[in-house]
Amino acid sequence: KAGVTQTPRYLIKTRGQQVTLSCSPISGHRSVSWYQQTPGQGLQFLFEYFSETQRNKGNFPGRFSGRQFSNSRSEMNVSTLELGDSALYLCASSRTGTAEETQYFGPGTRLLVL
């Protein structure tokens, strides 16, 4: 069974640009969550999607948005990039996203904002 895949793996952008990251969950998984990992803040929850609906949202500005498609693939978008957005962006999938259900992480997309 293929794991969670994320594309691209690495990305370099400049301030003010926007970026779109993609996540393909494990087959059969309908819940996709996004996390940002930075050296100073650790892993922080961005948002969760289930059946094309945002079900949960973390404390990030509106520049961070996402969506989920009918095949459960998810994208996240960051507009007007800032230097502080440089981070590893991880997505995780699970069958239904209920508590205590194991979440499986992808390898992440490393974003560098210059």
Contact residues for other proteins, defined by CB under 8 A: 4, 31, 33, 35, 42-45, 48, 55-56, 58, 90, 92, 94, 97-108
**CB nearer other proteins, residue 48 or residue 85:** 48
Nearer to other proteins by Cβ, of 79 and 95: the residue is: 95
What SS3 class is residue 11? strand
**CA 26 to CA 9: how far, in whole Å?**
17
Q: Is 68 helix (H, G, I), strand (E, B) or coil?
A: strand
Relative to beta strand 104-105, strand 19-24 is: unpaired
C-beta of 5 vs 79, nearer to other proteins: 5
In angstroms, what is the minimal distance from the CB of 88 to other proteins?
9
Report yes or no: 111 and 89 within 8 Å, Cβ to Cβ.
yes
Least gap, CB of 52 to other proteins (angstroms): 16
